[in-house]
Amino acid sequence: MGDYKFLKDENISGKTIVIRVDLNSNVEDGELFENARLRAYSKTLKEMSEKNAKLVVLAHQGRKGQDDCVSLKPHAEELSEMAEKEVKLLPWDSNYETTIKEMQKGGIVLMENVRFHDNEEQDFTPEDASKIEWVQKIASVSQMFVEDALSVCHRSQPSVIGFIPLLPSFVGHVLEAELEALKHFDSNEKPCVFVLGGSKIKDSIYLINELFGKQKADKICAGGLLGELFLKAKGIVLGEKDKFFEEKGFNELVEPAKQILENYGEKIILPVDVAIMDDSDEREEISISELPKENSIFDIGTETVAEFKEALKGAKLVVANGPMGIFERMDFEIGTKRVFNAISKSRAFSIIGGGDTETALEQVDFSEKDFSHISLAGKALLQYLSGKELPGLVALQNKTSKSKPAQPDTEERKVEEAPAKEEATEESVAEKPEAEEPAEQPVAEQPKLPQKN
């Protein structure tokens, strides 16, 4: 799992701990929607608080300049309710050093949105990030740093890497669960089948090249926009959906997709039928041979589902990322629901994550118990699977001790901490802002649809 130090092995009683989490969520009109990230981190913060740690929580919401880059006040309120423990929001213009210094054992403060700092969305080396004023101020009144979000580890930003040169640094419970699950991928368990959908088709194209090039995947089932891209690469005219590809600039991916098919086509399972919305706003399944159509494609068809199920047979590892279509509309959730149902019934170890997957799973009545692991990461997960180094993980592995800005309270009574059992949870994944990513705006799979009465 790499050369990391784990929080579960440490005595945290009385320690002031800076913990980087990911609370990035869907926010509309000031209303915060409950999600897997909030549930996971409220559990972690509660457990650490009950062990008498003093917690300084760092998190982001949205991206500066965008509508969802808002205060973390609703996040603090939601965490307080979930953890049954007050989580106090600390503004950046407050005397937060003193507040942190005066915290009682078990206290929790949530620093205001780190994206309110201009430098938080810039890239740094750990050493340069550690020299930033607000990083040094918090570190000076703290004794430990905990990285607890795979979803932000692909960023080299101050809140992710800046504390690592300054404080003893550890992998938290949520991140540990992610890394533990990914050991199945790292150990190259075979046969390995990927099921890819969702809207991040550029990332998926890169991932597929890496997976096949490094012999990490045996088969890939391509649904959603990715499946449609490969159909276009085969020369199939989609019809109305072609306009969507043109508008979103996805046509530039047709050539790379064509090259993948030439190199690895026999390992990629593509849609053989699709579901369109007919003139009466009803689901209609048609064969690929019936394309093009003036009606847009919203889902894979039932014959394609059967093809995907066949590909899953005998797999020892299944990695799934993204829904198979427009799951938000009941008529078109069938592909997503049936494919994920097949994964849940498989004997394979299953890793689920990315994009709108969390939202999709909840809508079609799945939970974390139905799969081996549901990741809270989106783009960071894809980059990890692609073999890219994640700066947050690299910094933890390359940790070189420096003197701490402040000494722990030697009068605190040391209490051995029992490892906490980590519950597999998931994300948004939404591209409801992915917790891992700086509230990247997802590409909608389709324009908003008229709802049936």
Of residues 103 and 330, which shows the higher confidence score? 103
For residue 382, the SS3 value is helix
What is the per-residue DSSP string for 126-145?
HHHHTTSHHHHHHHHT-SEE
Q: Is residue 193 part of a domain?
A: yes
Alpha helices in 130-213 (DSSP H): 133-140, 158-161, 173-186, 201-213
pLDDT value for 20: 98
Same-domain check for residues 137 and 283: no
Contact assessment for residue 161 and residue 129, using Cβ atoms and an 8 Å cutoff: yes
**Average pLDDT value for residue range 104-131:** 97
Task: For the chain, give the mean pLDDT.
Answer: 88
Helix, strand, or coil here: 350? strand
Give the confidence band of 355 by pLDDT, cuts at 50, 70, 90.
Answer: low
Of 385, 419, 445, the one marking the end of a domain is 385
pLDDT in the model for residue 362: 77
What is the rounded CA–CA span in Å between residue 382 and residue 203? 7
Determine the 3-state secondary structure of 35 from DSSP: coil
- Separation between Cα atoms, residue 403 and residue 97, nearest integer Å: 19
Task: Evaluate whether 430 touches 22 at the Cβ level (below 8 Å).
Answer: no
**Which amino acid is residue 154, in one-letter code?**
H
Could you tell me if 152 and 48 lie in one domain?
Answer: yes
Whether the per-residue pLDDT at 26 is higher than 90: the answer is: no
Task: Give 145's strand partners.
Answer: 18, 169
In a domain, 97, yes or no: yes
Average pLDDT over residues 183-191: 96
Mean pLDDT of 40-55: 97
Residues 172 and 185 in one domain: no
Q: Cis peptide leading into 91, omega within 30 of 0? A: no
User: Is a pLDDT exceeding 80 seen at residue 423?
Assistant: no
Question: Cβ contacts of residue 270 below 8 Å, gap of 6+?
Answer: 222, 227, 230, 231, 234
121 in the same domain as 262: no
Contacts of 312 (CB under 8 A, 6+ apart): 193, 195, 221, 318, 342, 343, 346, 348
Residue 441 has what pLDDT? Answer: 37
Measured CA to CA, the distance from residue 23 to residue 31 in angstroms comes to: 14
Residue 82 confidence class, pLDDT cut points 50, 70, 90? very high
pLDDT at 443 over 90: no
Kindly state the average pLDDT of the residues 137-163. 98
pLDDT above 70 coverage of the chain, percent: 87
Residue 224 sits in the same domain as residue 152: no
Say if 450 falls within a structural domain: no
Predicted local confidence at residue 427, as pLDDT: 34
Separation CA 271–CA 29 (nearest Å): 38
Comparing C-alpha atoms, which of 277, 353, 356, 346 is closest to residue 308?
346
Mean pLDDT within 373-388: 93
Among 372, 363, 376, smallest CA distance to 425 is for: 376
Residue 292, preceding peptide bond in cis (omega within 30° of 0): yes
Indicate if 225 and 332 belong to the same structural domain. Answer: yes
Q: Which residue has the higher pLDDT, 307 or 31?
A: 307
| Single-letter code of the amino acid located at 74 | P
Are the C-beta atoms of 194 and 319 separated by less than 8 Å?
yes
**What pLDDT does 42 receive?**
97
Q: Are residues 170 and 205 in the same domain?
A: no
* Contact status, residue 115 vs residue 91, Cβ threshold 8 Å: no
Confidence at 31, pLDDT banded by 50, 70, 90: confident
Q: Which residues contact 195 (CB under 8 A, 6 or more apart)?
A: 220, 221, 223, 308, 312, 318, 319, 320, 321, 339, 343
In a domain, 273, yes or no: yes
Q: What's the pLDDT score for residue 1? A: 54
CB 165 within 8 A of CB 130: yes
Query: Does residue 214 sit within a domain?
Result: yes
Please report, for the domain that includes residue 11, its CATH number. 3.40.50.1260
**Most confident option among 15-29, 219-233, 321-335:** 219-233
Q: Which domain holds residue 283?
A: 180-385
Residue 56's pLDDT band (cuts 50, 70, 90):
very high
Examine the domain organization and report whether 162 and 247 are in the same domain: no
List, for residues 266-306, the tens digit of each pLDDT value: 999 999 999 999 988 899 999 999 999 999 999 999 999 99
Spatial distance between the Cα atoms of 224 and 270, rounded to a whole number of angstroms = 10
pLDDT of residue 198 exceeding 90, the answer is no
Question: Which of the listed residues 385, 419, 444 is the one where a domain comes to its end?
Answer: 385
Mean pLDDT of 335-363: 87
pTM of the model: 0.84
Looking at residue 353, what DSSP letter applies? -
- Residue 405 forms part of a structural domain: no
- % the chain with pLDDT above 90: 77
Is 187 found in the same domain as 135? no
Give the H or E element holding residue 392.
Answer: helix 391-397
Query: According to the model, what pLDDT value does residue 2 have?
Result: 67
pLDDT bucket at 385, cuts 50 / 70 / 90? very high
Same domain as 184, residue 128: no
- Asked whether residue 154 falls in the same domain as residue 89, the answer is yes
Torsion, Cα of 286, 291, 293, 299 (10° steps): 50
Residues 141 and 232 placed together within one structural domain of the fold: no
Q: Is the pLDDT of residue 59 over 70?
A: yes
Instruction: From 359, 385, 411, give the residue that closes a domain.
Output: 385
pLDDT of residue 452: 39
pLDDT the model gives residue 399: 79
User: Considering the domain boundaries, does residue 435 fall inside one?
Assistant: no
Of 27 and 452, the structure prediction assigns the larger pLDDT to 27
Parallel, antiparallel or unpaired: strands 54-58 and 373-374 = unpaired
In terms of Cα–Cα distance, which of 383, 404, 395 is closest to 170?
A: 395
The number of distinct structural domains making up the chain is 2
Say how far apart CA 121 and CA 256 lie, in whole Å: 30
Q: Decide if 323 contacts 430 (C-beta within 8 A).
A: no
